[in-house]
Structure 1
């Protein structure tokens, strides 16, 4: 007897913005499976490349066959999971919306965001916490020379921070924007119960009582391969952690005012975000600013 088909949703958005935390919380629900970034997005793009124009086998694989092959990646990768709802995590999914929506027309994307200066601050802290390791985040010695070259490299249009920032902005103004909900990291840490009630409504799932003080997630083996210990480590308790930035003031200022998700005029994307004047170090509780979420 064939196993019932799974429902697929996606976690995407910006790095260091709570995607691993969100997955760790969601997986408490026995109906859900969620984890850190999976390899499916890379396999997905590589498969499309292999059957696209210019490749020898492109004329041998029809559009319908391509769809079945791509859908089969998900079925095969998650075949040993018994949960009926799977959340696949990858920052690249916001750049693959047209294909995803054809394969999974009922799927939705949870997109995590955070003010860019604090993303850069978080990555710089991890870099400095591993001073005897040349992390794979940087391609050349010149890129890792100073905090300025490191941040510039990460902000590149095809790099760790710049790529998902551009991809998310594109998705917010796409034909499928109503399938996205943008969730700000500070909202999760300060109002987790409220955020997850809204997320369940957005997903059309029955609400679940999560434990926001008993989380357990650490991908230490994966992080060791990147040379960046702690990249996917989740603290046991969901709570704010105010701090001063370690970035030079001019560098911090350069990436301020880039939170486009706080003013999405003309976009159908849903939002759970803080007011524009809320700052990570202020200690104030931001207010939710959302579109009307489906009930």
Structure 2
């Protein structure tokens, strides 16, 4: 079986940019979020005791079925030696993944949470005539209710944040690397060198001035054109937040990965 690794972490934190860069390497396949994590969850549910026939399903059979899901989803049409699958769910699935793919690595993309909320709010405002799937296509609400919805435990940001903390502090943290958005856009050679070192692959010369990723059809269907847009040149863009000051301050101290004293698992933070 070829190598399978995972891109996870927080939304609006560079996972699409990372995938766009990785796919420049002809040996690699990487894309935006795939349905694989959801499919694995459905299969786990169907093989659980809620199924009256679960008496006939052993844990080894469960492992074989799930391994088969990974192997067959990325079939022969994916001509790559190394696969990167993307989902914010993977940080919450490390115990399962380590039982299936012992050599896996998870690259968790992170960013200061205030700027994540700001980035999502910008997408909503830029598409004011098109309600977004992020909020179940509901046209109401304010920046306050949107921020609250994103940040709660089941929200787009809150769920991913809690999953990341679970992986960061959990017993499988040696499989995790945290890649900061700020590093990726300000020093992309350093960021990519760290990724290659972490996954044990030979370096590759990336073109940081000519990056391409196309998800326009997906974004349009979700009511969020531009959600996965990637600039052609990797560069940091300084800007002023669109958030009210109280919302921005609410999240500005949430970057737990910067607290070296709390990193007792020794997770690599780049």
Return the TM-score normalized by structure 2: 0.96
Q: Deviations over 1:90-126 (max 9, x none)?
A: 0000000011001110010000000001000000000
Counterparts in 2 of 1:114-153, with a 5 A limit?
114-139=111-136, 141=138, 144-153=140-149
SS class of match (1:87): strand
1:42 is matched with 38
Between the aligned partners of 1:82 and 1:119, the Cα distance in structure 2 is 34
CA spacing shift, 1:203–1:133, aligned 2, 3 Å: same
The alpha-carbon deviation at position 73 of structure 1 amounts to 1.3
Return the TM-score normalized by structure 1: 0.88
SS class of match (1:217): coil
Between the aligned partners of 2:136 and 2:194, the Cα distance in structure 1 is 40
Counterparts in 2 of 1:1-295, with a 5 A limit?
5-79=1-75, 80-139=77-136, 141=138, 144-263=140-259, 264-272=262-270
Q: Deviations over 1:215-250 (max 9, x none)?
A: 110201111221101111111100011000000011
SS class of match (2:7): strand
Between the aligned partners of 2:175 and 2:231, the Cα distance in structure 1 is 29
For the aligned residues, what is the CA RMSD?
1.2
Contact 1:50 1:57 in 2 (8 A): no
Say which structure is richer in helix. Answer: 2
Ranked by relative contact order (alpha carbons within 8 Å, sequence separation 6 or more), the top structure is 2
Contact 2:174 2:267 in 1 (8 A): yes
SS class of match (1:216): coil
1:284 is matched with none
Moved >2 Å (runs of 4+): 139-142
Uncovered stretches (5+) of structure 1, i.e. residues with no partner = 273-295
Q: Give aligned pairs, total.
A: 267
The alpha-carbon deviation at position 62 of structure 1 amounts to 1.3
The alpha-carbon deviation at position 141 of structure 1 amounts to 4.4
Q: Deviations over 1:162-182 (max 9, x none)?
A: 001000001011111011100
Between the aligned partners of 1:65 and 1:225, the Cα distance in structure 2 is 37
Between the aligned partners of 2:55 and 2:240, the Cα distance in structure 1 is 57
Between the aligned partners of 2:263 and 2:180, the Cα distance in structure 1 is 18
SS class of match (1:234): coil
Uncovered stretches (5+) of structure 2, i.e. residues with no partner = none
Between the aligned partners of 1:54 and 1:202, the Cα distance in structure 2 is 39
Contact 1:172 1:268 in 2 (8 A): no
SS class of match (1:33): strand
